[in-house]
Every structure is written in C-alpha cells, then in structure tokens.
C-alpha cells in the first residue's frame, strides 16, 4: 500500500472554500481502488512521508508553491495539453475528499462549441466528445 497525497494549488473562493477538483477526485478514486492510502498534502515539511504527491493547478496566475521531488503537478495552470493517464481518467470520482461540498458536478461533455478569447479550452484542441459521467453513478 502506497501513501499518496493530493494538493489543490488553487480553486478556492473568497472565503477560502475549495471548489471540488475533478482531477484530484479521480486520482484519489483510482489510488483508493488499488488499496493505497490517500490524504491531503500537509506541506513541504511532511513531503517525505508520502510515496507520491499529486498537485493540480487550474489557473496560470496563481502562485506556485515549493515543489518536493516526489510531486507530480498538472492541470491547465501548468500545461494545457497534459492529461491524466487513461486508468486514472476512467476512475470514479472520490467525493469523500470534499466532505462539506453540498453539491456534485462533473462533465457530460469535453470540449466546447464556443471560442471565447479568455478561455483555455480551445487551446487544448480537443474535439467535443461525450464522457461517461453518468455511467459511473
């Protein structure tokens, strides 16, 4: 059993409430399904306690923290073209990591039919496609 940590770099509202991060929920769901222990990253001081640390950064403008050697960081705030490995992408989302979230959300489609100048979705050059969101629930 591996010790896995997850870290949400950004994606909080003005009150400090985290918006659920789909990538982190899939990472947690995948690792829990193979028997790994998953918890929230507690900071650089505790980095050596984990076998692997995953971080997700949504926005380019948010500050990047110090990164330990065992951290894998992704998200649109790092690289528009990175993707989760297929086995993690297919994993069900672990909503238990956000116990105080009064709603659930997800994608019913990837891509977008609009071309808004401020948005990064078109830069990913993904065709519109239906996802398996409802098949997981």
Q: Quick check: is 136 in a domain?
A: no
**Does 126 map to a domain?**
no
If one counts the domains in the chain, the total is 1
**pLDDT digits 0-9 by tens, 98-119:** 988 877 666 666 667 777 776 6
Please determine, for residue 123, whether its predicted confidence score (pLDDT) is greater than 70: no
| 29-81 pLDDT, tens digit each | 999 999 999 999 999 999 999 999 999 998 888 888 888 988 999 998 888 77
Structural domain boundaries enclosing 50: 3-100
| Whole-structure pTM value | 0.79
3-state secondary structure 38-82: EEECCCHHHHHHCCEEEEECCCCCCCCCCCCCCEEEECCCCCCCC
Q: How far is CA 108 from CA 45, 79, 130, in A?
A: 39, 23, 6
Residue 87 lies in a domain: yes
Q: Which residue is listed with tokens 């098949």?
A: 135
- Is 129 a domain residue? no
């Amino acid at each position: 059993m591996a010790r896995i940590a997850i870290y949400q770099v950004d994606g909080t509202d003005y009150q400090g409430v985290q918006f659920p991060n789909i990538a982190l929920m899939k990472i947690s769901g995948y690792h829990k399904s193979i028997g790994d222990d998953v918890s929230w990253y507690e900071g650089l001081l505790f980095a050596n306690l984990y076998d692997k640390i995953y971080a997700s950064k949504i926005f380019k403008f948010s500050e990047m923290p110090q990164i330990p050697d065992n951290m894998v960081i992704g998200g649109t705030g790092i690289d528009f073209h990175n993707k989760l490995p297929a086995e993690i992408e297919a994993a069900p989302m672990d909503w238990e990591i956000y116990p105080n979230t009064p709603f659930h959300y997800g994608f019913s489609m990837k891509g977008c039919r609009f071309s808004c100048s401020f948005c990064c979705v078109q830069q990913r050059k993904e065709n519109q496609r239906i996802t398996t969101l409802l098949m997981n629930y």
